Amino acid sequence: MKLISFKPILILLLGLLAASCEFDNFEAPKSTLSGRIVYNGETLGLRSTGVQVELWQRGYDLFQKIPVYVDQDGSFSAVLFDGDYKMTLIRGNGPWLDKTDSIDVQVRGSKMLDVEVSPYYHITNSSVSRSGNNLNVTFTVNGVNTSRALEFAAIYMGRTIITDAVRNEGRHLLTAQNITLGTPVTVQIPIPASLAGRQEVFVRIGAKTVGVPELIYTQSEAY
Amino acid sequence: MKFYKKYILGITLLGVLSTSCDSEWLDREPPNILVDDQVWNDTKLVTGVLSNYYDRLPAHTSLTGGWVDFAAYDEAMWSGYSGNDWLNNLVTYDYGRWGLWDYGLIRDINLAIDKLNTLSTLPAEQRTQFISELRFIRAWVYFDHVKRMGGVPLITEELIYDFGGDPSYLQYPRNTEAEVYDFVISEMEDIAGTLGNAGSKTRANRFTALAVVSRAALYAGSLAKYNSAMSAPISLPGGEVGIPAARAAAYFTKALAASETILKEGGYALYRSNPNLGENFYEAVISKNGNSEVIWAQDFLLSADKRHGFTYDNVARSAREDNLGSSAITPGLNLVEEFQYLDGTPGILKTRTADGSDYLYYEKVSDLFANKDARMYGTIIYPGASFRGQEIFMQAGVAVWNGSTYDLVESNGLATEYSDGGVLTSAAGPHRSIQEVSNTGFYLRKYVDNAVGSSTRGIRSEVWWVRFRLGEIYLNAAEAAFELGQNGLALTYVNALRERAGFGTNSLSDLDITDIRHERRVELAFEDHVVWDYKRWRIAHEKWSGNPNNPESMIYSLYPYRVVRPGDERDGKYVFVKSVAPRFRAPRFFQMANYYSLIGQNIIDANPKIVRNPFH
């Protein structure tokens, strides 16, 4: 009889102990991984959320990627748990040669990472000036890897810093025949009526590679 | 004590006796489930199994499955319950959209075929018929997979795990896209003769199988042709995606041959029972009464409690019989303007004078839509069109002349009166912001039931979902013939369809691929074709480019206004304003990665031989 009366006390004690445990036994991740997509040390301009890098972590039951979208200025960031990750770039996703080797990423606290890629084409020496309702645009398209042909270059004009091939208020297309690689191109283009009255027009120059959905851009700047 | 002993002895004896009387106590037929021997030896039960599989056939947009996605492309937008406004705000199409990996159903079919072969003692002919029908369903399911995912592993028999710890012999790689199309076509050709079910519109028969060949071979042929014609074809090194261009002609030949067999031998005919051509086209899809056009449908029946709420959700606001619902899918002006004038000119509605300086004034709202392709009436309820015998009058507001221009005045309610005593906003809208009233100025007619009571939640609708009808076979034949260079033949088929729509005989004297594509768009709107057609022609990324300046990526509306200009001859007439639909926010954006859907990581984790689709 003595033994039996002992048991409820044990159960009560167990209950008390369990109740004192924390409600959520995982802490939210705190470490930050941030980085840029670079070529020769220069951050590449891209379309906002157009390019995705993948993070994978082995050793856990659920093997799913952590998708990390790249901003229009070529930077990305993710809040993660400390650990060892593998970063992969999706084939055919960005305007660069497929990079099939994964990158080891060790996240301890905060981590900066530059992802070096080898683009098909690269735009340099761009300059834009505004004269009245026209824009004078000069730029050079350089072939870095010409295994895929250049489809076109285009000048995109928009109201916000997020201006690209998809979101724009006006564009001027230069087909590949009008462009000599490595030689500056100068064009004068009219500003579309919807933008002409604005103080600032955001301008970006993009180059499209055949068969790659995403373009490579210059950084978005206001003129 | 003695007394009790007697009883205990008695009870024990009783127990011993009762157990001994039934020697097969543990070896009985289960009373609550049917076992294999029973199911596969009873034609009624096998038919029950078949009906279960027919019911589980995948569909992207049908009356019961995924119908809200009718509002996710360029045919229509969402005007119903505002919680579903995400359909108007799709920033991009998700990579996993259209994803399908239904090996559960395929396994069930494989098991059924296996059991009919091994366990059944039914007559051989009967078994062959059942097996043919199961193979039909399986090939159809594979067709649905390949058009969404590209090549998938072709599994045609039951896979059994040996519990040896190594499942790798059960992991099959993806077959090529061409192999899966070839499988679908060859299965259909193989079983066409033994399917039986002659005359059935809900179970597969010879002509249903040929209709699948007609569509699948056309898809494969155009994929081979148009994918290869891209500046950079979408393909995988193993051919899981991408069909060689050289195979196009063979596929088109098969599609044309299958279509022509249906046209010549099928005994089907275009529906022409109603002299009113608009109503006739509407009935061609929904009428079950001696419909000579429908080849294969998913049927519904009120008396069997198999019914759906599509009419409740999509009926025009002023015709609704319930106190809630209505108006969910509303066609856009884009689609309305696709319907040509009967003289063959483009269907752009004439709302402004030629120089754009003034409105054009119309006596009645419906006058704007006079002399158009009868299929417009049969597909869409436009302002002033009738439905269930009542006029669906639409007026967004009034245009008040202020001496130099018009002020457009709208109401914040429906069925409201303007200060001059006339209508301000009509009971059917359109309205900029109210939910469950058209936001585009149009309502859906196709598949919306005209039976009384069908738009109530208590009764609902028994309109069937048409998977194949002769109209599509005509267009498949025309497209295949055109791709094979037989323009004259293509012209015959397209003109036959146009004649039914009111264009007169031989309305086209010449045609190109854009004419055929246009004809598919107006004939087959809201029949689950637009996505697959745009994908196989490889134009989806251009049509839906995500750019708000691309009119094909946006949904436009048309709002009628009554002119208030007392003392002027234009007073009381109607003017129309075109604009981007107010509740429509994000342009449709189809990316290259959307041509083939995402294969889930869980699938790849379980079977590392599965390769990812391009751009994923």
Report chain B's C-alpha Rg in angstroms. 29
DSSP code for B226: I
Query: Which tokens belong to B270?
Result: 């275009």
Q: Which of B384, B385, B383, B412 minimizes the C-alpha distance to B397?
A: B412
A64 touches B at CB < 8 Å: yes
Nearest chain B residue to A56, by CA:
B601
Q: Is residue B372 part of a domain?
A: yes
Give the position of tokens 């890098």: A53
Distance CA B459, CA B457 (A): 6
Q: Considering only CB atoms, which chain B residues are within 8 Å of A167?
A: 546-548
Instruction: Determine the pLDDT at residue A49.
Output: 86
Instruction: Determine the pLDDT at residue A60.
Output: 84
Distance CA A211, CA B586 (A): 25
Out of A65, A90, A211, the one facing B231 most closely (by C-beta) is: A211
- The interface residues of chain A toward chain B in range 141-170, judged by CB-CB distance below 8 A, are 148, 151, 165-169
**Is it true that the peptide bond before A192 is cis, omega within 30 degrees of 0?**
no
Q: Considering only CB atoms, which chain B residues are within 8 Å of A100?
A: none
Angle between helices B43-55 and B103-118 (to 10 degrees): 160
Q: Considering only CB atoms, which chain B residues are within 8 Å of A91?
A: 614-615
Instruction: Determine the pLDDT at residue A1.
Output: 47
Instruction: Determine the pLDDT at residue B398.
Output: 96
How many angstroms separate the CA of residue B381 from the nearest CA in chain A? 33
Q: Is the dihedral of CA B341, B346, B351, B356 positive or negative?
A: negative
Could you report the per-residue pLDDT of B249-265, keeping only the tens digit for each?
999 999 999 999 999 99
Q: Considering only CB atoms, which chain A residues are within 8 Å of B602?
A: 64
Query: Which tokens belong to A93?
Result: 């996703």
**Residues whose CB is less than 8 angstroms from the CB of residue A108 and which lie 6 or more positions away in sequence, other chains included:** A31, A82
Quote the pTM value.
0.87
Distance CA B209, CA B139 (A): 10
| CATH for A121-222, options being 2.60.40.2060, 2.120.10.30, 3.60.15.10, 2.40.37.10 | 2.60.40.2060
Nearest chain B residue to A52, by CA:
B616
Q: Which residues pair with B359 in a beta bridge?
A: B352
The β-bridge relationship of strands A31-39 and A110-116 is: parallel
B480 with B436: CB under 8 angstroms? no
Distance CA B332, CA B349 (A): 13
Distance CA B70, CA B615 (A): 26
Burial class (CB in 10 A: 0-12, 13-18, 19+), B56: middle
Q: Sorting pLDDT into bands at 50, 70 and 90, what band is A7? A: low
Give the position of tokens 């009526």: A193
Report chain A's C-alpha Rg in angstroms. 26
Which of B95, B601, B613 to mutate to test binding with chain A, by most A CBs within 10 Å of its CB?
A: B601
Nearest chain B residue to A148, by CA:
B232
Q: Which residues pair with B545 in a beta bridge?
A: B589
Asked, colleague to colleague, whether A31-116 and A121-222 share their fold, the answer is yes
SS (H, E, C) B135-190: HHHHHHHHHHHHHHHCCCCCCCCCCCCCCCCCHHHHCCCCCCHHHHHHHHHHHHHH
Could you report the per-residue pLDDT of B573-599, keeping only the tens digit for each?
999 999 999 999 899 999 999 999 999
B44-B49-B55-B60 Cα dihedral, nearest 10 degrees: -150
Distance CA B68, CA A143 (A): 46
* DSSP string across B467-505: EEEHHHHHHHHHHHHHHTT-HHHHHHHHHHHHHHTT--T
Angle between helices B206-222 and B470-483 (to 10 degrees): 40
Q: With an 8 Å Cβ cutoff, are B546 and A166 in contact?
A: yes
Q: Considering only CB atoms, which chain A residues are within 8 Å of B592?
A: 92, 213
CB pairs under 8 A between A and B: 39
Q: Is the pLDDT of residue A22 over 90?
A: no
Measured CA angle at B69 (ends B412, B599), to 5 deg: 145
The β-bridge relationship of strands A202-209 and A184-190 is: unpaired
For chain B, the domain total comes to 1
Which of A64, A166, A171 to mutate to test binding with chain B, by most B CBs within 10 Å of its CB?
A: A166
In total, chain A counts a number of residues equal to 223
Average the pLDDT over A164-193 and give the result. Answer: 90
Give the position of tokens 């059994």: B160
- Structural domain of residue B427, as residue ranges? 66-96+321-451+555-589
A96 with A80: CB under 8 angstroms? no
Q: Is residue B178 part of a domain?
A: no
**Terminal C-alpha separation, chain B:** 85
Q: Sorting pLDDT into bands at 50, 70 and 90, what band is A199? A: confident
Q: With an 8 Å Cβ cutoff, are B615 and A210 in contact?
A: no
B339 with B359: CB under 8 angstroms? no
Q: Sorting pLDDT into bands at 50, 70 and 90, what band is A18? A: low
Q: Which of B104, B94, B117 minimizes the C-alpha distance to B40?
A: B117
B110 with B155: CB under 8 angstroms? yes
Which of B94, B547, B596, B605 to mutate to test binding with chain A, by most A CBs within 10 Å of its CB?
A: B547
Q: For chain B, which ranges sit under pLDDT 70?
A: 1-5, 9-10, 12-24
Percent of chain A at pLDDT > 70 equals 89
| Pick from A9-13, A219-223, B73-77, B583-587: least confident | A9-13
Question: If residue B597 lies in a helix (H) or strand (E), which one and from where to where?
Answer: none
Return the CATH class of domain A31-116: mainly beta
Which of B231, B240, B585, B613 to mutate to test binding with chain A, by most A CBs within 10 Å of its CB?
A: B231
Coarse DSSP helix, strand, coil percentages of chain A, rounded to the nearest 5 percent: 10, 45, 45
Q: Sorting pLDDT into bands at 50, 70 and 90, what band is A196? A: confident
Distance CA B350, CA A63 (A): 58
Q: With an 8 Å Cβ cutoff, are B547 and A65 in contact?
A: no
How many angstroms separate the CA of residue B601 from the nearest CA in chain A? 6
Nearest chain B residue to A49, by CA:
B92
Nearest chain B residue to A194, by CA:
B549
Q: Is residue B331 part of a domain?
A: yes
For chain B, counts of helices (H) and of strands (E): 19, 12
Instruction: Determine the pLDDT at residue B81.
Output: 93
Distance CA B110, CA B107 (A): 5
B296 with B53: CB under 8 angstroms? no
Q: How many CA atoms lie within 13 A of B542 on its CB side?
A: 6
Q: Is residue B458 part of a domain?
A: no
B614 with B241: CB under 8 angstroms? yes
Q: Where are the domains of chain A?
A: 31-116, 121-222
B601 touches A at CB < 8 Å: yes
DSSP code for B359: B
Out of A64, A148, A166, the one facing B601 most closely (by C-beta) is: A64
Residue B468 has phi, psi (to 5 degrees) of -140, 135
How many angstroms separate the CA of residue B613 from the nearest CA in chain A? 10
Q: Is residue B535 part of a domain?
A: no
For chain A, counts of helices (H) and of strands (E): 2, 16
Q: Is residue B166 part of a domain?
A: no
The β-bridge relationship of strands B397-401 and B556-564 is: parallel
Q: With an 8 Å Cβ cutoff, are B615 and A151 in contact?
A: no
How many angstroms separate the CA of residue B604 from the nearest CA in chain A? 10
Instruction: Determine the pLDDT at residue A91.
Output: 85
Out of B601, B605, B615, the one facing A92 most closely (by C-beta) is: B615
Reported ipTM: the value is 0.71
